[in-house]
Amino acid sequence: MYSAEITIYSPNKGMSYGQSPRKRGINKVWEDINNFLNTCTIVDPIYYFEIRAFYATEWDDDTTANRCVEMAKSEFGNPDKDTHEGGLNWSTGKILKGGICEWKKSIDEIDRVIKFLSMHEPWPKQTLGPVEIQLNYDFLWRGSFSNDEPNPIPHDNYRKIEIPKSNMLIIIGKKSFIQPAFWFPYSENDPTFIEFINRLNPFMPIKLLPRHFRAAIPVKNKSKFRFAKLKRNISLNY
């Protein structure tokens, strides 16, 4: 008999809840992400994404940062948000140097923006940015990676729990970054679990690390979870 437990993959705070992508270069990162989403998931449509350009912090060169911001403004027009403060230092009460420009764009413009970012590689090294995009995807897993008609993995009735959709927050730029919250409708003892993970692995835009898998145990109304370390080691094929 299977447990009501399921499994989640989510890096901890020590890794800023995310990982660097496997590939390098903006075009390759974007291609890898799309291949993963199209092959392995049934993804909810998104309609907008954000572009961000950062002013220099106290550790950055003003001329270089301003040049990158002006390049973004020239390409994308006046930003929806343009701030010239980097926040507040709570210990001193002083305003920190920095700031950000933000644009909200239709997903129809994503290819144009990816082209702009890749054309100007390598971007200069900077504490933040200097120019990047952010997207956020929610999805279900496909039951078959070769099926023309996408079928979600069935959430077996015996569990009778509300399994969240998986999520992937993506930043693409000089320092691309992926924050995954991957929910699997399997317990660690379910033999299908490891089999499914190893089928996923070749398509993953990040390297799955065994230490970031945790058991998700339903509590109360079975729509919330508490988390625990897995009781056994996971052996993954890379």
pLDDT digits (tens, 9 = 90+) for 110-134: 999 999 999 999 999 999 999 999 9
With respect to residue 230, please indicate whether it lies within any of the assigned structural domains.
no
Summarize pLDDT for 74-96 with one digit per residue, the tens: 999 999 999 987 666 667 667 77
pLDDT given at position 93: 64
DSSP reduced 3-state for 102: strand
Cα distances (Å, whole numbers) of residue 226 to 5, 7, 231 = 10, 11, 15
Supply the range of the domain harboring residue 151: 18-160+168-181
* Closest C-alpha to 44, from 144, 154, 145, 164: 164
The residues, ordered by sequence, that sit 6+ positions from 231 with a Cβ below 8 Å of its Cβ are 188, 215
Distances (CA, A) of 100 to 15, 111, 114, 159, 222: 24, 23, 19, 46, 41
Domain assignment of residue 197, yes or no: no
Residue 194 maps to a domain:
no
Pure H helices in 14-160: 26-40, 62-76, 110-119
- How does residue 51 score in pLDDT terms, banded at 50, 70 and 90? very high
Tell me how many domains the chain contains. Answer: 1
Instruction: Provide the pLDDT confidence category of residue 158 given band limits of 50, 70 and 90.
Output: very low
Q: Are strands 213-219 and 224-229 parallel, antiparallel or unpaired?
A: antiparallel
- Name 221's Cβ contacts closer than 8 Å, sequence gap at least 6: none
Report the distance separating Cα 219 and Cα 224, nearest Å: 6
Q: Does residue 16 register a pLDDT over 60? A: yes
Question: In the prediction, which pLDDT does 147 show?
Answer: 57
Give the N- to C-terminal CA distance of the chain in Å, as an integer: 30
How many CA atoms are closer than 13 Å to the CA of 156, on its beta-carbon side? 14
Q: From the CA atom positions of the chain, what is the Rg in Å?
A: 20
Q: Does residue 220 fall inside a structural domain? A: no
**DSSP summary character for residue 163:** P
Query: Could you tell me the two tokens for 115?
Result: 């082209």
Q: What angle do CA 208, 142, 19 make, to 5 degrees?
A: 25
Of 191 and 29, the one with more pLDDT: 29
Residue 207 lies in a domain: no
70 within some domain: yes
Angle (CA) 158 162 164, round 5°: 130
Average pLDDT over residues 19-44: 95
**Residue-averaged pLDDT of the chain:** 88
107 vs 217: which has the higher pLDDT: 107
Q: In the predicted model, what is the mean pLDDT of residues 25-46? A: 95
Query: Within a domain: residue 204?
Result: no
14 pLDDT tier (thresholds 50, 70, 90): low
Residue among 236, 212, 207 at smallest CA distance from 23: 207
What value does the mean pLDDT take over residues 40-56? Answer: 96
Answer yes or no: is 2 within a domain: no
User: What's the pLDDT tens digit per position in 129-154?
Assistant: 999 999 999 999 987 766 555 667 76
